[in-house]
């Protein structure tokens, strides 16, 4: 017999949510059924994630944005209605799609495609029909590598968009650029400390670096600054920004300590 532990130190389970993930669809094959406004938004979402997209829709149902994608060879277009065989072989890969997005004004046809996707074990999203979705499209704020998604589990898309706009307005300018610089620094760090056993130290040092500098300061780091910053990794130190600026031009920390200002040398470039 077990006794329930009501210890409040552990978070309580809140059912009814969705598992929000960053789904990597780079080079995956996505089938979009439909060519209207909703389909255009879906197409842009997956193209932004570097997916390979095939659009199945009669030309008469294409809106201007989807026509633009087709004309610029950003997607593959099949000029007809959906066929069940599309879930088995589809250009350009001539194989089954990895994901299906349905955006057509035909509830019966949409449900049929959903059922077929279940039979083929292909994840699918049926626009505006939450019960027939393996996943939802939230409202996303994008700033370079930064992506923030707001989801209402399909219950209030308009409200999600309003919340997303509010969050975006609260973020400081240059956040995306700062994250880009952090990413570059991490890549450089992996090159000088590539071994798996270096992982914990890398993570601790990058955490300290991220906490040490503001968004604006991170954006302002030059390539030379980052190379100089990496010299502090072996002893697990993080210098002040003034030190990094003073090291520009080939100065070493030891030289800067000697010329500390009493001889007319300024440590702030």
Q: Is the peptide bond before 70 cis (omega within 30 degrees of 0)?
A: no
CA distances in angstroms from 102 to 21, 43, 48, 240, 252, listed in the order given: 21, 11, 18, 53, 60
Position of tokens 């503001």? 214
| Cα dihedral 143, 147, 148, 150 sign | positive
Rounded to 5°, angle at Cα 40 from 109 and 76: 80
| Cα dihedral 174, 180, 182, 184 sign | negative
State how far the Cα of 5 lies from the Cα of 12, in Å rounded to an integer: 12
DSSP class of residue 90 equals B
Task: Assess contact for 150 and 167: CB atoms under 8 A.
Answer: yes
Secondary structure element (H or E) that encloses residue 35, with its range:
none
The one catalytic residue in 98, 106, 128, 143 is 128
Task: Assess contact for 39 and 101: CB atoms under 8 A.
Answer: yes
Is 50 annotated as catalytic? no
- DSSP assignment of 218-235 equals HHT--HHHHHHHHTTTTT
- Please choose, from the candidates 217, 190, 221, 222, the residue with its C-alpha nearest in 3D space to the C-alpha of residue 206: 190
Which residues are marked as active site?
A: 128
């Amino acid at each position: 017999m077990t006794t329930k532990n009501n210890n409040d130190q552990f978070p309580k389970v809140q059912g009814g949510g969705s598992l929000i993930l960053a789904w990597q669809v780079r080079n995956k094959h996505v089938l979009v059924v439909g060519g209207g406004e909703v389909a255009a938004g879906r197409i842009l979402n997956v193209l932004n994630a570097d997916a390979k997209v095939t659009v199945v829709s009669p030309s008469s149902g294409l809106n201007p944005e989807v026509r633009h994608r087709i004309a610029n060879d950003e997607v593959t277009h099949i000029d007809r209605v959906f066929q069940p065989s599309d879930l088995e072989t589809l250009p350009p890969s001539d194989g089954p799609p990895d994901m299906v997005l349905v955006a057509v004004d035909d509830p019966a046809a949409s449900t049929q495609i959903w059922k077929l996707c279940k039979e083929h074990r292909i994840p699918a999203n049926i626009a505006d029909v939450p019960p027939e979705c393996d996943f939802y499209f939230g409202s996303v704020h994008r700033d370079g590598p930064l992506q923030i998604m707001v989801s209402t589990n399909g219950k209030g898309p308009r409200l999600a968009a309003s919340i997303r706009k509010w969050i975006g307005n609260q973020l400081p300018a240059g956040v995306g650029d700062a994250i880009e610089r952090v990413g570059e620094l991490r890549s450089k760090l992996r090159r000088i400390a590539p071994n798996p056993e270096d992982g914990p130290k890398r993570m601790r040092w990058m955490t300290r670096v991220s906490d040490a500098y503001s968004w604006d300061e991170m954006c302002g780091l030059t390539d030379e600054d980052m190379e100089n910053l990496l010299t502090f990794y072996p002893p697990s130190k993080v210098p002040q920004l003034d030190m990094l600026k003073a090291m520009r031009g080939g100065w070493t920390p030891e030289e800067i300590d000697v010329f500390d200002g009493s001889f007319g040398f300024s440590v702030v470039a």
